[in-house]
Structure 1
Amino acid sequence: MREVWTAAVDAHVRFGVAVSGGPDSLALLLLAHGFNRDQFEAVTVDHRLRPESGEEAARVGAICARLGVRHTILPVEVASGNMHDAAREARYRAMGEWALGRGMYGILTAHHADDQAETVLMRLNRGSGPGGLCGIRAMQPFPSGVSAIRPLLQWRKAELEAIVAESGLDPVRDPSNEDPRFDRARIRAAIGEAGWLDAVAIARSAQYLQQADLALWTYATRDYERTVEYEGDAVVWRPDDIPRAARLICVMRALAEAGGDDFSMADAARLHDAVMAGGKGGTLGGVELRFRKGEWRFAPEPPRRNG
């Protein structure tokens, strides 16, 4: 936390601080206030998914007023589908646009070591690759280009709750955090029951994996740029004998450069593995891949004929 704020002071930049009213975000608010209350503004997103959400956002506003911190409430509409994913997308979009409009460098969020441990274990249980096992990134851009910054990834939840308890503030408690229908709540309960798990050590491992993932992307990018050619709209890739993880990064880049969109790393992996198993190519995200004699040719998918 101190490193983030020292860098901000040196660069003369302003931040937003995301405050839901829960103990984690209230602790972040108090810590930020202790460094320099004039260098940030607080923001609360009202997802309007629970009847009491508006009142909770107003409570955060009252706390900020007592601290002398400027506060904004952003009501959002949450799309149908996976509630947690849709709420996160709506929240990040709204905060990113708000921060961009306020000329801010980024928004601090209160993700901590326990959140990181839960995320890594969830993804490990799903068989995620290196990128997924990096967990929560210390810095990640919003769609607006403003960055989310997470300075508390080495802090335990209990430490943050202690800060709030000492302040005398009454945090908001979201019942969905303990709802066993959700994967994260089940993982959280399992970590609590397994006293031998060290959340800080898991968070540290995620940090090391982020560094390894960055090295992998650097290696893959250098190899790709040496082995790719462009022929009109087509991307022609003649890969070296490189590890599968690096090849997948190259396939992702080739698909994107050929105009592809709306595909995931898992989608690209399935296409890559089908070719390596003897396939001649396929289509993904609006891009057609043709494989012949070691050459991967990615080009925009031709329009379909009617009738």
Structure 2
Amino acid sequence: MSGGPDSLALLLLGASAMPGQVAVMSIDHGLRAEAAGEVALVESICDVLDIPFTSASVRLASGNVQAKAREARYAALGDWATQRGLGAVATAHHLDDAAETLLMRLARGSGLPGLAGVREWTHVLGFEALPLIRPLLGFRKAELEQVVETCGLTPVQDPSNGNPAFDRVRVRQHLAEHDWLDPEALAVSAQHLAEGWRAIEWYAQTDWEEMVALEETPEGLPQYRYFCNVPRAVQIETVCRIVSQLGGRVSRGEAGTAADRLWHGKNASLGGVLARCDIEKFAKVGVEMRVWRFAPEPPRRTH
């Protein structure tokens, strides 16, 4: 909870819709001297509304500031919500955020998972049992600002929201200057893309359950056998999951490159895992199919 108009609207609407059932955390990322006062503002509003309040300060790792702030924020929120036994974490993303995110990711050439954009619900990063919900995705930003104004509150204005050094700010300015780009239509498209991505996730789960089996190598190491006969988008998800199960880490781009090699009869190495391709009869259907086997790469010789 930052004290900006979006988060204050979430606080007010949540308190009205679920009285006595919400709690608030406000985080100082250590990026601006004004942040401590903004946390205090949120605390004072929670005191008036009799809402449990917790403040936190986080330190950011080096790297992309916005990305590291997001990681630190969700880690703090996840720990807090887990300790308090909360049912979910809610954030104040709204319709305009969804439209901006879609345009940003289109410009970056994102795949379907990225284009699915800001989803109504997912899980808190690093806390797979903790839902992350976004109940304001049906609201325009101007509507949320009106909620805050009607309640007589003055929200915080983060200067970074007007800094064109950030991609999102430039996209927001572009939308404001070109009325043929309708944020509501863009948000609807993002929803359609999210539905398509959920279908692929479902298909990938079925692929995992029906076409992947755990074996052992002759040396007694774990090995996954994958009978592959699905579209490339599903192959990528299954390959990522297999590598993860073997203790490796791989991006979807790397998994796609490996899947392309395997599909064309070439072995591949990714995330500390060696993948080999072959053709075998799949007993369930009695036909020959591509089979890929994944096992940890053998240790490299040091001499």
**Taking structure 1 as the reference length, what is the TM-score of the superposition?**
0.88
**Residue 270 of structure 1 aligns to which amino acid in structure 2?**
T
Where does residue 306 of structure 1 map in the other structure? 302
> Which residue pairs with 1:239 in the alignment?
228
Distance in 2, matches of 1:86 and 1:223, equals 34
The 5 A counterparts of 1:125-136 are: 125-136=107-118
Unmatched tracts of structure 1, length 5 or more: 1-18
Structure 1 counterpart of 2:245, which letter? E
* SS of match in other structure, 1:236: strand
Counterpart contact for 1:24–1:161, Cα < 8 Å? yes
Aligned to 2:286: none
Distance 2:162 2:294 in 1: 46
Alignment map for 1:271-286 (pairs within 5 Å)? 271-276=258-263, 279-282=266-269, 284-286=270-272
Deviation at 1:111, TM superposition (A): 0.2
- 1:141 equivalent in structure 2: 123
**Count of aligned residue pairs for this structure pair:** 286
Q: Which amino acid aligns with 1:119?
A: T
Further displaced range: 243-252 or 86-95? 243-252
Q: Secondary structure at the match of 1:238?
A: strand
Could you tell me which residue of structure 1 aligns to residue 82 of structure 2? 100
Once the two structures are superposed, residues 247-280 of structure 1 have per-residue CA deviations (whole angstroms, 9 ceiling, x without a partner) of: 212211222223322x221221122223345532
Tell me the distance in 2 between the aligned counterparts of 1:140 and 1:106.
10
Correspondence for 2:238: 250
Distance across 1 between alignment mates of 2:226 and 2:183: 42
Pairing partner for 2:94 from 89, 94, 112 = 112
Task: Within 5 Å, give how 1:145-184 maps onto structure 2.
Answer: 145-184=129-168
CA contact (8 A) 1:287 1:298 kept: yes
The amino acid across from 1:250 in the alignment is: T
User: 1:51: how far off?
Assistant: 1.1
The alpha carbon displacement at 1:176 in A equals 1.1
Larger Rg: 2
SS at match of 1:180: coil
How high is the sequence identity, in percent, across the aligned residues? 46
Deviation at 1:141, TM superposition (A): 1.2
RMSD: 1.6
Range 292-301 or range 229-238, more displaced: 292-301
Partner SS for 1:153: coil
Distance in 2 separating the partners of 1:170 and 1:224: 51
CA deviation string 1:219-262 (max 9, x = no partner): 2332343222322211111212x22112212211222223322x
Q: Secondary structure at the match of 1:259?
A: coil
Question: Which residue matches 1:199?
Answer: 183
**Paired amino acid for 1:237:** Y
SS at match of 2:298: coil
The amino acid across from 1:301 in the alignment is E
| C-alpha distance in 2 between matches for 1:214 and 1:267 | 21
